[in-house]
Structure formats: structure tokens, C-alpha cells
Amino acid sequence: MSFSGKAAIAGIGFTEFSRNSGVTTLTLALRAIRAALDDAGLSPDEVDGVATHRVSDSAASMTVAQAFGIRDLKYFIDHFGGGGSSHQVIGHAAMAVTAGVADYVVCYRAINARSAFRMGGTGRGFVDSPETQYQAPYGYYTPPQQYAMIARAYMDRYGANERHFGAVAVNQRANALLNDRAMMRKPMSYEDYLASPWIAEPFRLPDCCLETDVGVAVVVCSAERARDLRQRAVLIDGATWGGGATLYSIGEPDLNVSGARHMAPRLYRMAGLSPADVDVAMLYDCFTFAVLLQLEDYGFCARGEAGEFVLSGATAIGGTLPVNTHGGFLSEGYAHGMNHVVEAVMQLRGQAGARQVKDARIALSTGAPGYVGGVTSALLLRGDA
Amino acid sequence: MTQVTDRPMLPADPDSSPYWEAIDRGELRVQRCTTCATWRWPARAMCNHCFGFDHDWPAVSGKGTVASWVRTHRAFLPQFADDLPYVTVTVRLAEQPDLLLVGQLADSHAEPEPEPEIGMPVRAVFRGVSEGRGLVFWEPEA
């Protein structure tokens, strides 16, 4: 039995995106969840499920449930994982409400990823991964370095270059100028991009996502219940997660094959959709390069062609496949995945204002493609008729 | 072994200690399944090809090619602040195409360090770091 189309996102909420929230991750979570419940028109005492993912950097789902005074929590998940798991949390909630385990599940991600635990790795300790002891002695252990290693192999193989990476960053900055919650509101030209400092070559500063203090939440319930609530329901037609291999797990000699490439056909199959059906895409943009790879992984262009696809203007608002209309992690802020879902929902409700993609009906939203941790997840969402 | 700068050496675990102990002696040994002869790195108990637990630690040729590289310009770790920018490589060992090791080129202190070419043949050399520990580096094959 598939849960395709049987569950929905009924509410969205978020706090300010900032460099220093001055509050705990629990506070960020509670503010975002309250906002999502208000958006849906739900009372906080109707929540009976709480779900999150984290990397030992945030308030646990049970802590949040207790803060809401829930005495008989019907469903919770406290998944250990980063961006690859971000969309999986919502997929789990969709299964739970479809199976009747819970009625209203709030899914959140709350982080002080700039003021406390810096997501990019600067000044923080080593994470617990099987590869760390082999990488740390070489000063190689942060996400920008790990993705840069893959990006270099991609450039060498397909002739991609800084024009392609820059086009992604510039396009998303243009989108962020239309988004009043975005952290980066200063225009950026390709020349500005080229003049910016290196972080881990081939990545410059604007190739890397922001580090952000933020809480973001969504409410998941059955499609039936969602139709009785305040907002237009956004149906979860596809929700898949999986992946597996990393560069170091043995079995994948190709540096340019991600978990998302293996998973994407399964996602489309579940939703009964194809890449041509997607009107707008929020692609996990921890780095510009990840957008290029996923344009290929999710079937929007052939291997090696994503850079030219972006340069053609196809991914701009008004193009054939607008991508990261909010500015993405590069220019809106980094909620570790959940802010992509919020923007997808706004587009499908027709609430994206100056960024609105005309007649957006189907949205793809993706988690990290699975190069570093091996894990990936994604959603195909549909605006209810 | 020639000494290089201090490095953040993390503790070995029961799976990985044979790897590190060999490097401290100036040998590159990699775990191999004795049932199906599949190499694996990092070390772990079971072969993900045949699911066997039996393994040994043969010395490898120490030859490989550069699969990719990255040049780091930011001092993510304070120990590397004086080395910026530095190049890190992924080396594909000759023994098996999916046997990928992270490392650095040896004795490369030009500024900026030279760009390795993807596909460039390299061989393992050993350098001493702190407290009697060794570390493998890579040298272009003549």
C-alpha cells in the first residue's frame, strides 16, 4: 500500500533567519511550530506527533513534546542525521498519519548553526564518522572540502567550470532579492562572484551555503483533515529516502554517482510523475555544485549538461524549471533542508508573491544528495485542486 | 621517517589499529577479505561483497592514481593555519578501483601548492608526525 497522495502538509512556520538568534534551539523549535500551527488554523493541543532530525545540535522531539504539555504522544521520531535526512522526517510523518498512528505531526528543524555549532566546520570538533580518523590528519573533514573533492572530479570529467557554478549562485541571489526572509539581500553579479575569496577550491564563498540560526516547521496530517483546515492542502505524492554508498564504503568507484541518482526513479514512480511534470524544484544547495548534480540526478538534463542548462536561464523564475526560488541555502539561509519544503509549499499555494512561479502545481524538494553520509531523501508535492 | 608538522591524530579503534600500526612502521597495509579477496578501507569487521568476517592485512603496492583533489584556503582547524592553502588528494589504489584513500602530496610547500592532475600516478611515502606516529603521503611517480 502506498501512502502517495494520502497525506498533506497543512501548515508552515519559521523564525527569523539570523547569524545569532540569542535563544536556544528549543525556543526556535517552539516558535516555528506555533507559527506552523497558526498557519494551518490548528490549536496546539491537537498535536499528537513530533518529528525531527539532528546531529546532536538541537532540542529533541521529546523535549518539544513536553514543552507542549502532551501527555499521550502517539508518534515521535528523533532521527540522527543531517541534510540527507531532512525530507525523510516528513516522509515518516506522512506514513504515520496515513497509517492512523497519529493525526497531526509537527516536523521541525531548529539550529544555531552559526552562533553555536558551525555547520561548515570552522572551529568545531570532529564529527563521529567512520572516516574521520583517516581524514583529520590531513586537515580534511568539513563539508565544503568533501563536496569540493567531488566537484573537482566532475569538472575534470565533464568540462564544467566556474561559469556554471557562478550561474547557480547568481541566479539564487536574484531570487533572494524577492524574498523578505532571505539573509542575503545585496545583489550579486557574476563579477562579484569571481572576486569573492576561495574557501575550498573549486568553491568560493558564494558557492557555499550560509550558516544560520533558525527554526522551521511544517504540520503533516491526512489529506482529508488538511482539506478542513485554513490553507490549501499540499499533498505528499512522493516521499522516498535511502541511498547507501559513500566514496569510502567500497562498491562505488565513480566519484560522480550520488544516492539521489539511485533513488530518483523510485520517487517519480511512487508519485506517478516524471521530471517533465515538475513545475518548480527546491534542490539541496549546500554548495552550488550540488544543484548541478541533482539537475542531472533527478532527470532534468543529461550527465554533464547541468551547467549549460543553468546558464541558459532555464532555472530562473520564468524559466522552464525555476530552482530555489527563495534563494536557497546559498542566499535565503540554511535550515538544513526544511526551508526548501516551506518554499515549495508557498509556491504550490500561490503565496510566493514576487517570486511566484505561474501555475505551479507540482514541486520537487530534495535533501542532501548523499555523497558524504550516503543518505538522501526527497518529496514530490502537489497543490490540491 | 622524515618529520613533518604536527597533525591531529585521532585514536585508532580495534578495527583500524592494524592499519595505523603498519603505517607507524612505514608500511601501507590494507584490510582484505580472505574469502573473496575484496579490499576494504576504512577497516571494518565484515566484507560488504561476500559478507565474510575473515580477513588479513596484506601490504599493498603503494601505487595509485589521483582520483580528485581540493585546495583548502580556510583554517577550519587551527593546526593548519600556517599551511594555507594546502592540497588534499583522493588516491585510487592500484589494487581495486573502488579503494579510495584520502591523503596529501608529500613535501609540497610551494605557494600555492602545485595542482595535481586527475589520473596522475602516485606512490606512497611515509612521514613521521607527533609522538612516534607515522602518516602516509603521496609522491608523483617519476
- Average pLDDT, integer, range B6-13: 89
Residue B117's contacts (CB-CB under 8 Å, 6 or more residues apart) are B66
A147 is catalytic: no
CA dihedral A10→A15→A18→A21, nearest 10 degrees, is -140
Residue where the block lists cell 497531526: A104
A78 touches chain B (CB under 8 A): no
User: What phi and psi values does residue A7 have, to the nearest 5 degrees?
Assistant: -120, 160
* Cβ atoms A326, A283 nearer than 8 A: no
**For A75, how many CA atoms within 13 A lie in the half-sphere containing its CB?**
27
| Alpha carbon distance A27, A29 (integer Å) | 5
**Residue A223 near residue A353 (C-beta atoms within 8 A):** no
| Type of residue numbered A37 | L
| B7:A137 CB<8 A | yes
3-state secondary structure of A162: helix
Check B101 against A131: CB less than 8 A apart. Answer: no
Q: What's the pLDDT tens digit per position in A4-31?
A: 999 999 999 999 999 999 999 999 999 9
Q: Which residue of A lies nearest to B86 if distances are taken between CA atoms?
A: A139
In chain B, which residue's Cα lies nearest the Cα of A130? B42
What's the confidence (pLDDT) of residue A175? 98
Tens-place pLDDT, residues A320-339:
999 999 999 999 999 999 99
* CB-nearest partner of A199 from B74, B90, B102: B74
Residues 6+ apart with CB under 8 A from A201: A148, A152, B70, B71, B72, B73, B85
Asked if B42 lies within 8 A of A149 by C-beta distance, the reply is no
Query: What separation, in Å, do the N-terminal and C-terminal C-alpha atoms of chain A show?
Result: 23
What are the backbone dihedrals phi and psi of residue A203, each rounded to the nearest 5 degrees, phi first?
Answer: -100, 130
Whether B82 shows a pLDDT value over 90: the answer reads: no
The nearest CA of chain B is from the CA of A245 a distance in Å of 11
Give the distance from residue A163's alpha carbon to the nearest chain B alpha carbon, in angstroms: 18
Question: Which of A134, A154, A162 would best serve as a mutation to test chain B binding (most B beta carbons within 10 A)?
Answer: A134
Q: Indicate the residue type of B95.
A: E
Instruction: Tell me if residue A154 is catalytic.
Output: no
Q: Which of A75, A147, A268, A334 is catalytic?
A: A334
d(CA A149, CA A182): 29
pLDDT of residue A316: 98
Q: What is the pLDDT of residue A299?
A: 98
- The separation between CA B127 and the C-alpha centre of its own chain, rounded to angstroms, equals 12
pLDDT at A56: 84
Q: How far is B142 from chain A (nearest CA, A)?
A: 23
**CA distances in angstroms from A146 to A199, B68, B77, B93, B142, listed in the order given:** 12, 11, 15, 19, 29
Helix, strand or coil for residue A80?
strand
Torsions phi, psi for A196 (to 5 deg): -85, 155
Distance CA A138, CA B102 (A): 8
Nearest chain B Cα distance for residue A92, angstroms: 28
Q: How far apart are CA A153 and CA A145, in angstroms?
A: 13
Give the pLDDT score at A177.
98
Query: Between β-strands A375-383 and A362-366, what pairing exists: parallel, antiparallel or unpaired?
Result: antiparallel
Cβ–Cβ below 8 Å for B73 and A149 = no
C-alpha cell at A204: 568560493
pLDDT band at B109, cuts 50/70/90? Answer: low
Does the interface ipTM go beyond 0.85?
A: yes
DSSP sequence for A251-299: S---TT--HHHHHHHHHHHHHT--GGG-SEEE---SBHHHHHHHHHHTT
**Nearest CA among A116, A124, A154, A166 for reference residue A142:** A124
The pLDDT of residue A127: 74
Element (H, E) at B64: strand B63-72
Q: CB A138 to CB B7 under 8 A?
A: yes
Q: Pairing mode, if any, of strands B121-128 and B2-3?
A: parallel
Binary contact (B73, A135; C-beta < 8 A)? no
Tens digits of residue pLDDT in A212-251:
999 999 999 999 999 999 999 999 999 999 988 888 888 8
Q: Which residues of A12-51 are buried (b: 16+ CB within 10 A; e: fewer)?
A: bbbbebbeebebebbbbbbbbbbbbbebbebebeebbbbb
Q: What is the pLDDT of residues B36-49, one digit of tens each?
A: 999 999 999 999 99
Contact B10/A136, CB-based, under 8 Å?
yes
SS3 A77: strand
Q: How close, in Å, is residue B97 to chain A by CA atoms?
A: 6
| Other CB atoms within 10 Å distance of the CB of residue B56 | 11
Among residues A19, A93, A86, A114, which one has the least CA distance to residue A49?
A93
Interface of A with B in 139-168 (CB under 8 A): 139-142, 144-145, 148-150, 152-153, 156
Cell reading at A351: 503565496
Distance CA A78, CA B13 (A): 27
Look over chain B and give the mean of its residue pLDDT values, rounded to a whole number.
92
Nearby residues of A318 by Cβ (< 8 Å), 6 or more positions away: none
* CA angle A151–A135–A113, rounded 5-degree value: 70
Rounded Cα distance between A161 and A307, Å, is: 8
Number of H helices, E strands in chain B: 1, 9
Which candidate from B44, B48, B73 shows the least CB-CB separation from A200?
B73
Per-residue pLDDT of chain A (385 residues; tens, 9 = 90+): 589 999 999 999 999 999 999 999 999 999 999 999 999 999 999 999 999 999 889 999 999 999 999 999 999 999 999 999 999 999 999 999 999 999 999 999 999 999 998 888 877 777 777 889 999 999 998 999 999 999 999 999 999 999 999 999 999 999 999 999 999 999 999 999 999 999 999 999 999 999 999 999 999 999 999 999 999 999 999 999 998 888 888 888 889 889 999 999 999 999 999 999 999 999 999 999 999 999 999 999 999 999 999 999 999 999 999 999 999 999 999 999 999 999 999 999 999 999 999 999 999 999 999 987 789 999 999 999 8
For residue A32, the surrounding DSSP H or E stretch is helix A25-40
